[in-house]
Amino acid sequence: MLVLSIIFTIRTVADRPFVLIVNGGTMRFKRHKKKPKLVFPRLFVLLASESSNAVIIRRGPSKQTAAIGWNRSSDTFTLGQWFPGKIYHFRADISPDGKYWIYFAMDEKGKAGTAVAQMPYLKALDFYVKDNTYNGGGLFLSDTVYWLNEGDDGHDVKKKGSHFKVKYEPHRKGECPFIYFKKLERDGWILTEGNNNPHVSATKFVKSIHENWVLQKIFFGTIGASGERPIGKGTYYEAYSLLNRQSLQSQPFPNWEWVEFDQPRNRLVWTESGKIMAAAINADGLGNIKMLYDTNSLTFSKQDAH
């Protein structure tokens, strides 16, 4: 006896498909399962201004963050430590010589604080505790001085073991955009546009990277408007494009999460889909694109600082 199997796809009012399967006269409905959207780990990078060192902040899943060292001269990578919580990367910085970094973090139990550590580890040489996640973090002013966001007015000093001098300015404090924008302007970005939309703010920065090209960045803030941010993006995120000076045409790169001009090597370096990428910049735009490091396979593990 020949048994026919016929499959029909039916869409419901909610546009969720069912499959009608007919097997030898027997009918049954089977709902298609939606494939979950693949979300890659988020990567953000801090480049030292006077050395080839850098630190990659890799977050994903949401309460697992890794610090990874990157030597840009050899493009070699060293896993520093995992942290069971969140590092607020827009409030972090690396010293000009690339030997230390400052970061603000909150662990899985809700405890928060600002730390100064040796690269690329998390063990605090200086540690300032906070009872909330407002402000915090800091910026390096030199290889011997850093500025503490909110100063000791908002921190409880738990440990001071580094050689750094600390600049306290309790009246100068702010959230991620406040400290990050200061870092961008210090590092050669020029603020060109901004708005004060209470739901979705967009602030534009540009940096000249070639006689033919300008790198453009838009910093988005979505506090109170989580429904307006793309899947996989945080409260603050960035969008990038390249502007041709001659044609004034802008080429967007929607998959780039973070981008910077690695001037000593005349290349753009960026992150996308959990990977570190690079390409030379020339008169025609990007040269051959090379993947330098794929962080997708990394999994959480406890690792002590050296």
Higher pLDDT, 205 or 304: 205
Q: Which amino acid is at 174?
A: G
pLDDT confidence band for 244 (50 / 70 / 90): very high
276, 261 in Cβ contact below 8 A? no
Average pLDDT over residues 161-174: 88
pLDDT confidence band for 18 (50 / 70 / 90): very low
Q: What is the mean pLDDT of the chain?
A: 87
* pLDDT attached to residue 92: 98
Q: Which tokens go with 211?
A: 């006689």
pLDDT score of 225 more than 60: yes
Average pLDDT over residues 136-154: 89
The rounded percent of the chain whose pLDDT value lies above 90 is 70
Average pLDDT over residues 196-217: 88
* pLDDT attached to residue 123: 96
Higher pLDDT, 8 or 66: 66
With residue 158 as reference, give the H or E element that holds it: strand 156-160
* pLDDT attached to residue 54: 98
Q: Which tokens go with 88?
A: 């607020």
Average pLDDT over residues 280-305: 92
What torsion, rounded to 10 degrees, do the Cα atoms 296, 137, 122, 270 define? 30
* pLDDT attached to residue 155: 83
67, 83 in Cβ contact below 8 A? yes
pLDDT score of 196 more than 60: no
Length of the chain: 306
* pLDDT attached to residue 184: 97
Q: Spell out the SS3 assignment of 89-148.
A: HHHCEECCCCCEEEEEEEECCCCEEEEEEECCCCCEEEEEEECCCCCCCEEECCCCEEEE
Q: How far apart are CA 100 and CA 48, in angstroms?
A: 10
Nearest Cα neighbor of 149 from 194, 185, 103, 106 is 103
pLDDT score of 227 more than 70: no
pLDDT score of 234 more than 70: yes
Phi-psi region of 151 (alpha: psi -120 to 50; beta: other; left: phi over 0): left
Q: How far apart are CA 129 and CA 136, in angstroms?
A: 9
Task: Calculate ∠ Cα 254-255-257, nearest 5°.
Answer: 100
Nearest Cα neighbor of 64 from 136, 122, 115, 117 is 122
pLDDT score of 14 more than 60: no
* pLDDT attached to residue 152: 61
pLDDT confidence band for 242 (50 / 70 / 90): very high
Task: Calculate ∠ Cα 91-96-100, nearest 5°.
Answer: 65
Average pLDDT over residues 159-173: 89
Q: What are the backbone angles phi and psi of residue 263, rounded to the nearest 5°?
A: -60, -45
